[in-house]
Structure 1
Amino acid sequence: MAATSDGVRSWVSRHFPRLVFLLTFGLLLSDYMSRQVLAAVFPYLKADWRLTDTQLGALTGIVALMVGVFAIPLSMVGDRWGRVRAVIVMAVAWSLATVGSAFAAGFGQLMAARVLIGVGEAAYASVGLAVVLSVFPATRRASLAGAFTAGGAFGGVLGVAVGGAIAAQFGWRWAFAAMGAFGLILAAGYAILVDEDRLRAHRVAEPGAGPGSAERPWRAGLSTVFATPSVLMAYVACGTQLFVAAALVAWLPSYLHRVHAMAPSRAAGVASLLILILGAGMIGGGVIADRVSRDRPARIWSTAVVISALSLGLLAAGFLMRPGGLQLVVLAAGCFWAAGTTGPCGAVVARLTPDHVRATAFGVLTLFNNVLGLAVGPIVIGMLADRLGLQAAMRYVPVAAVPAIAALLIGGRAYPSSLRRLGADPAGAGPANPAGGSPVTGLRRG
């Protein structure tokens, strides 16, 4: 029995970084399943409670608004109190609130439950991403940030598809109950397999970090969360681009139901496929950015500009087309690029902030993502739909990519000076070495 236990501990130790990613990614799936299951039950809530599109958009947007409001303070708590402990508490909180949604008797009670879901989820993306990046090398940051963040899209897919199927079979209340139960199971697994001591043992040192750099006082690097123009533009670009993604995730099921005359369950299934494509694009954007910027890190900005521009052009063309199969193909292509800037932007934020406040930095990124994108996207499109109709309202979705492109262009121009301000090599390889050595190896040149 003891030998078996030792074998399990040895296996966990060997595969710990991958295990951390899988469990943290799984909880992000649960996060967004709890958040986006609402989109699958829009038709049922509209019929049962006679809600307006503005009210439905508000039920979606309130979660993102709470995430935006509480992301920074709760991320700071996670940096100081312990990231693993914070992850577990947050997962239990949003899961219980999701189960509570199943018992709502009206719009007000469901709104209250959605508020609690938002508070529970507020710092999860930032703290969880900081946990993942701490156990993998810096050269994989854009890919990991894109892949991790794609868990939001995949969770949205599962929330809409599974929630829609459960609602059609058993009623919309069971859809909420199932999402909450899944989160509680994953939280228990995380508590058993991940702890702070293992994280410290597997932490990967920052490129060019000097001895004791990880022990710098927590306050010393806090100013770097806002210190440079490039990091500020990364926050803005990521947030405004996610307006596009959030509007798509929230309203595609209803768009397909109303404009393409699909039954609610079929609309949820097709929308799930489009959202799955969106999630694949988040991973693809990160992988492309890592490869393109491997030798010239500043190229990460131009890569993000191209990704955002592709989403703008394809989605604008798609929503102007007549409903039909060809339109869905064009929209699918636009969905692939709709959130592809999340990986590059996350990598830039990680590059320009120190590890000991990185969850806080990602909390700031989460604030911008929610205030500029995830919270307002569903609400704004819902308000436009009440006035113009949903088909016309969706044509405004890709416009949010315009300020994202502008922010990326500004951030890219400021990137070399932002690196110099942090005492880093403008080539992006690592901190400048005053002794004349390589910024990567620290060896002196002959």
Structure 2
Amino acid sequence: MELHCVKPAEGDFAAAPAVSRKYAWIVFALTFGLLLSDYMSRQVLNAVFPLLKSAWGLSDTQLGSLSGVVALMVGVLTFPLSVLADRWGRVRSLILMAALWSVATLGCAFATSYGEMLVARAFVGLGEAAYGSVGIALILSIFPLHLRSTLTGAFMAGGAFGSVLGMALGGFVAVHFGWRASFGAMACFGIVLVAAYRLVVSEKRLVARHADGSAAESNPRDVITSFRALVAGLFSTISVVCAYVGSGLQLFIMGAVIAWMPSFLNRYYGLPADKAAAGAAVFVLLGGVGMVACGIVTDRVCRTMPSRKWMTAIAYCLISFTLLSIGFRLDTGALQLVLLGAGILVVAGTSGPAGAMVANLTPASIHASAFATLTLANNLLGLAPGPLVTGFIADRVGLLGALQVIPLVSLAATVAFAIGRSRYTRDLRRIDALRGIAAKE
């Protein structure tokens, strides 16, 4: 059950593909653009809730199901579709997925009933399910290893930016042209990007730009031969498991704070619902900017000593814990908002380092599957339970009391990253040993 190909050690920068810098950034821009389209198509629905409710007389439960069905499809299908993409080809998979969610979003514009809208939204979720994991796997395969934290942080931040754009632009278009036009605009944006992607990016072109003429995805069937081998590659070391767990736990706080920020601003600052939502959007953007900035800082700090990525992740956990813990205990006012903003700026800063760790500790040929596993950890340990647990605690001690407790989860994330750091060198040696065995075979 040995893996036939193992990711080189983190410091082995020579192993990075020799890709034209200009072409690599064009591929990144197009892939990132489609990620924006992904989240814009997903979140535009929230902007037209009131119009749909009025037009079709929908209940809040039905409205919630139209949003929830996308998350359900993504949660259920992320991993299996990522595994298929590793085997079938990442570029082909990305184009197919983007085309599917774009056409499905257009279908939402023509829906005439709740049932039709629900089916269309399910297909939106089907198209979006594995895009994030496959997209970042493709991006990392064409850039030098020392940019992994920056690229992972920037790519993951696209979700925050796309969500805000989808709600803002969707609401604007809906007010001026109707809710159907909102879905149509998002669909057209996606279709144009799909056409551009198909013209510019191809698997053959990417393979041709590798120094050795072989990309990780050029023949994935030669790499993983069974499900057991796949699982072994995804969970081969204690440190990679710690990266999954630490990332998920830290995003628990991000999910909780962002979900409850509108209510916090409404209850404790007396802002009406629309202004509270607008204020919360600013915090969402801060979180996205922080992912990018922290990824850049991590790569700069770790350029000569890549193992420092674990220390930067630990630092982001402790800084966010301190800022948010103090912030939620202050009286309402400018100082509190500044501290909370600073805390949210770094709370998801672990996304870049964690993604780089996962990429360094798993075979390149299964990176889409590895990032799907990271996505599952982020959702199952963090983004999904965060808002729920916060609400459960808030019912007993009040929302402010709950938000004062939630930052403690950062300490658990710190422990996970610390354990991963303590095992990292040993695990890299093990990976190198397996790589040597595979080379002899």
Q: TM-score normalised to the size of structure 1? A: 0.79
Instruction: Tell me which of 26, 35, 42 is aligned to 1:35.
Output: 42
SS at match of 2:225: helix
Q: Deviations over 1:380-410 (max 9, x none)?
A: 4566667776655544543443332221111
CA distance in 2, matches of 1:386, 1:57: 21
Structure 2: state its 5+ residue gaps.
1-18
RMSD: 3.7
Count of residues in correspondence between the two structures: 411
Q: Deviations over 1:169-220 (max 9, x none)?
A: 55655544433332222222211211111111223679xx9xx999953338
Q: CA deviation at 1:365?
A: 1.2
SS at match of 2:432: coil
CA distance in 2, matches of 1:152, 1:60: 16
Q: CA deviation at 1:331?
A: 1.8
Give the structure 2 partner of residue 276 of structure 1.
285
1:299 aligns with 2:305: no
Quick check: 1:242–1:373 contact (8 Å CA) kept in 2? yes
Give the structure 2 partner of residue 219 of structure 1.
225
Give the structure 2 partner of residue 121 of structure 1.
128
CA distance in 1, matches of 2:201, 2:388: 37
Equivalent runs, 1:157-306 vs 2, <5 Å: 157-169=164-176, 174-203=181-210, 216-219=222-225, 222=230, 223-253=232-262, 255-257=264-266, 259-306=268-315
Q: CA deviation at 1:21?
A: 0.3
Instruction: Evaluate the alpha carbon distance shift between residue 183 and residue 390 of structure 1 in structure 2; reply closer, same or farther with a 3 A threshold.
Output: farther
CA distance in 2, matches of 1:82, 1:278: 32
1:345 aligns with 2:354: yes
> 2:29 is matched by which residue type in structure 1?
L
1:134 aligns with 2:141: yes
Instruction: Evaluate the alpha carbon distance shift between residue 41 and residue 278 of structure 1 in structure 2; reply closer, same or farther with a 3 A threshold.
Output: farther
Give the structure 2 partner of residue 4 of structure 1.
none
CA distance in 2, matches of 1:60, 1:398: 28
Equivalent runs, 1:350-389 vs 2, <5 Å: 350-381=359-390
1:15 aligns with 2:22: yes
CA distance in 2, matches of 1:163, 1:392: 34
1:25 aligns with 2:32: yes
Q: Deviations over 1:10-66 (max 9, x none)?
A: xx97732111000001111112223334555567778975537xx887765654443
Q: CA deviation at 1:234?
A: 0.7
Instruction: Evaluate the alpha carbon distance shift between residue 327 and residue 97 of structure 1 in structure 2; reply closer, same or farther with a 3 A threshold.
Output: farther
Deviates more, 1:285-294 or 1:108-117: 108-117
> 1:139 is matched by which residue type in structure 2?
H
Instruction: Evaluate the alpha carbon distance shift between residue 42 and residue 376 of structure 1 in structure 2; reply closer, same or farther with a 3 A threshold.
Output: farther
CA distance in 2, matches of 1:57, 1:383: 19
Instruction: Evaluate the alpha carbon distance shift between residue 142 and residue 325 of structure 1 in structure 2; reply closer, same or farther with a 3 A threshold.
Output: same
CA distance in 2, matches of 1:213, 1:64: 31
Q: TM-score normalised to the size of structure 2? A: 0.80
Q: CA deviation at 1:229?
A: 0.6
> 1:151 is matched by which residue type in structure 2?
G
Quick check: 2:35–2:158 contact (8 Å CA) kept in 1? yes
Give the structure 2 partner of residue 437 of structure 1.
none
